[in-house]
Amino acid sequence: MAAASDAYAPPRLLTLILQRKTLAVGLLILAVVTLLAVLAPLVAPYSPSKLSIVNRLKPPGAEWFFGTDEFGRDIFSRTIYAGQLSLLVGAAATAFACVVGIALGIVAGFFRKADALVSRVVDAMMAFPDILLAIALVAALGPSLATVIVALGIVYAPRLARIVRASTLVIRELPYVEAARALGVPTWRIMTRHVLRNLVSPILVQATFIFAYAMLAEAGLSFLGVGVSPEIPTWGTMIASGRQYVGQADWMTVFPGIAIVLTVLSLQLVGDGLRDLLDPRLRKDL
């Protein structure tokens, strides 16, 4: 028995990732997109705001990989730079949703008195379609980068709250939590050290999907002109400005759109792969 347990070596993280095609492909695409965005000043051949009226609406070619826009700006450079902001908004909105959602979920799951109120609010918040609620919140708070992040964070927080609450309800009844309580461990410590630590997997999986949805929603808000300022290049604002040139300069909408699809797809693949990796019931290597 001892020999058998000695012989067992847990698979390394890289092996676990490579065993899952979806996770590996998703992480690879996401890494490429993120690296391009972070290294934009080194990778982009032109400045994203460099105007060149003589070169306006040039089709894709050797000089301008993705063509140029109505002001002669290089679409390839703008797509790479826009990735910085689109990824930043998605990540920040996800972080905001995580903080609010986890706090609400764990409080609702732990304290029965708070549960009724929090659950009602969460149910009601989820009755609003994502983008409509985000539009209303941005309209109320005033359009800016910060309000878009806060609005999307508020929109997606209930999804996390619901999952955290459901898992907390189960974990709080487990013997080790009861033991901790009997030992006089303070409630906040039980919540953070004993409950929250066991929620990392479902939170991580859900956060990946929220990241994907937030990026789609941000693009939608920017496209409608109710998100970040149209002068700031995000994939959504780029598609919005290309809308007037449909049929004349299709590349203006095609390339930023492909960037959104690839990034969102990579996040969905990562989310799916993580769920497979972290959910013991789905693990094939245990």
Partner 1 sequence: MVRFVLQRFLGMLSVMFVVVTIVFVIVRVAPGDPAAVMLGPDATPADIEALRTRLGIDRPLVMQYVFFLGQLLRGDLGQSIFLDMPVASALLDRAEPTFFLTLFSILIAAGIALPVGIMAAYRRGTFFDQSVTTLTMLAASIPSFWLGLILIQVFAVRLGWFPVAGYGGPDASLMTRLSHLVLPAVALGVVSSALITRFTRASMLDVLNDDYVRTARSKGMSEFRVVLRHAFKNALIPVLTVIGLTAALLISGAVVTETVFSLPGVGNLVVSAVLRRDYPVIQGALLVIAAIYVLINFGIDMLYLMIDPRVRY
- List residues near partner 1 by CB under 8 A: 120-121, 123-125, 127-133, 135-142, 212, 216, 219-220, 223-226, 239, 242-243, 246-247, 250, 253-254, 257, 260-262, 264-265, 268-269, 272
Taking the complex as a whole, the smallest distance from the CB of residue 109 to partner 1 amounts, in Å, to: 19
| 171 or 227: CB nearest partner 1 | 227
Taking the complex as a whole, the smallest distance from the CB of residue 21 to partner 1 amounts, in Å, to: 10
| 119 or 167: CB nearest partner 1 | 119
Assign 3-class secondary structure to 56-97: CCCCCCCCCCCCECCCCCEHHHHHHHHHHHHHHHHHHHHHHH
Residue 201: count other Cβ atoms within 10 Å of its Cβ.
Answer: 15
Taking the complex as a whole, the smallest distance from the CB of residue 245 to partner 1 amounts, in Å, to: 10
> HSE on the CB side for 256, CA within 13 Å?
33
Taking the complex as a whole, the smallest distance from the CB of residue 119 to partner 1 amounts, in Å, to: 10
What DSSP assignment string belongs to 6-41? HH--PPPHHHHHHH-HHHHHHHHHHHHHHHHHHTHH
| 177 or 217: CB nearest partner 1 | 217
Distance CA 13, CA 197 (A): 19
Distance CA 71, CA 14 (A): 45
| 27 or 265: CB nearest partner 1 | 265
| 247 or 280: CB nearest partner 1 | 247
> HSE on the CB side for 36, CA within 13 Å?
20
Phi, psi dihedrals of residue 58, rounded to the nearest 5°: -80, 135
Closest CA to 256 of 53, 59, 66, 49: 66
Taking the complex as a whole, the smallest distance from the CB of residue 152 to partner 1 amounts, in Å, to: 14
Taking the complex as a whole, the smallest distance from the CB of residue 103 to partner 1 amounts, in Å, to: 18
| 106 or 150: CB nearest partner 1 | 150
